[in-house]
Amino acid sequence: MRNKSLNYNWGNELKELGYTKKKVNHFRKKYKKHWLCIDYDLMGFILMFRVLGLDAFNKTKCIKHKDIEDMTSLTQIGFINMVNKIENEFKSFIDNGK
């Protein structure tokens, strides 16, 4: 996945999982009053998963995150399984009231 955008490598898969592309390396999905976000940092080659919530000033704030640093051997099935696993972990976090 090095030197390629998140959209280039996994855009179709993320769209099939219900994510919307906001930028080339930023996808998000609404869950209750939160955003589940997936970003790819080309400089550090890090895939970042984040849960964003609204603060008292109606601004988004990261309330949970998980970074994946080694993406070199990830297959299509491995990527989908990883996204589903982290998404379920984040949904459980939200459902249990943080």
Parse the chain into domains and list their residue ranges: 6-95
Mean pLDDT of 8-22: 93
Provide φ and ψ at 15, rounded to 5°: -65, -40
* Residue 67 to residues 46, 57, 81, 93, Cα–Cα distance (Å): 7, 27, 15, 16
User: pLDDT band for position 3 (50/70/90)?
Assistant: low
CB-CB contact of 20 with 11 (8 Å): no
Task: For residue 50, give the DSSP letter.
Answer: E
End-to-end CA distance of the chain: 32
- Using an 8 Å Cβ cutoff, are 69 and 89 in contact? no
The stretch 66-84 carries a mean pLDDT of 87
pTM: 0.86
